[in-house]
Amino acid sequence: MFDKNISEETRSNIAKRRGNNIKTLFGLPYKPDIDGEDFVVLGVPYDTSVTNRTGCRFGPRAIRNAYGAGRLSYEQDNSYKVANLKGMDMGDIGVVLGYVEETMELIRESVRKVLDAGAVPIVLGGDHLIAYAELKAYSEKYGKVAMVHFDTHEDTWDYGDRIKYNHGTPFRNAIEDDILDTEHSIQVGIRSGGDTYRIKYAQDHGMKVITARELHKIGIKETCRRIKEQVGDAKVFITFDIDFLDPVYAPGTGTPMPGGFSTYEACEIIRNGLAGLDIVGFDLVEVMENYDPAGITAINAVAILKQFVILLSKKKAEQE
């Protein structure tokens, strides 16, 4: 036996760091029931609706396991402590792989449960179709909500009657179902190229679009101003596809596209462009660890998710 006394606190910290406990985002408590939490993390291990690479059903696991995901106490520059929020991780939704509509219903029910408990959902995808089910829940609770959508792709594809549900169609579906407040919604970072009808479709329904080329030209400050101007006082859902980042920062995703943005730029836009908005929920989607052995994508996803929580913390502090 070694002559060394190890305190229970030290043992607990070691266990958490070594992953001996259930992995949760930011080391939050894992429990099935919501009890006064400000925010609730939900995983959606689902990628039945992808059209290119597969693997984002492992996204929630990759994010929870990523370096930096073990705690939530400060920003990278240590300038802001998060101490006034109560959060929890409910684990993953029991999706039905291969059965799209059944899974969408399970997502809608789970998000609605969080909303009815008075908490803000933070959803880890999974492919981007899950946002459609989330919007169903938000619209049931609040009526139509606005959206700030960070992405390479517009996700307003039109496949006619052949394919209604895939990760390229969530916001066309939401518009067709009249559950999205398009007049206060904005898409940021679009650079998918090809047919322009997808951008035109969004714009024709009142959405603003800031393309990647335009964002690089106008800069972060003007982008933030436009986001706030478009959203105004509307209740808003924030949806972040990790391929908004350049493949240098997010190689582990399904449809990477050069010409994107750094993690720093993304965090600055979130920190400044979303501050003060009436945010009802967040998601982060399309992380694929199987295309990123170094885990860079998940690490950067965690940095972005921390900014989401910091926004909630600052908003609560202003209200107290």
φ/ψ bin of 150: left (φ > 0), alpha (ψ from -120 to 50), beta (otherwise): beta
d(CA 211, CA 168): 17
Q: Does 151 appear as a known binding residue?
A: yes
Task: Please say whether the beta carbons of 152 and 167 come within 8 A.
Answer: no
Q: Residue 320 class from Cβ within 10 Å (0-12 exposed, 13-18 middle, 19+ buried)?
A: exposed
Q: Of 168, 209, 218, which is closest to residue 191 (Cα–Cα)?
A: 209
Please check if 216 is assigned to a binding site: no
Cα–Cα distance measured from residue 275 to residue 295, given in angstroms and rounded to the nearest whole number: 29
Class of residue 194 by CB neighbours under 10 A (exposed 0-12, middle 13-18, buried 19+) = exposed
- C-alpha 175/C-alpha 5 separation (Å) is 62
Q: Is 128 annotated as a binding residue?
A: yes
Closest CA to 301 of 251, 260, 255: 251
Note the Cα 133 to chain centre separation in Å. Answer: 14
Is 86 buried (19+), middle (13-18) or exposed (0-12) by CB count in 10 A? middle
Residue 241 assigned as binding residue: yes
Sheet holding 235-241, edge to edge: 87-92, 39-44, 120-125, 278-285, 235-241, 146-150, 186-190, 208-211
- The residue to which tokens 């609605």 are assigned: 112
CA torsion through residues 104, 109, 113, 118, sign: positive
Annotated binding site for Mn(2+): 128, 151, 153, 155, 241, 243
Annotated binding site: 128, 151, 153, 155, 241, 243
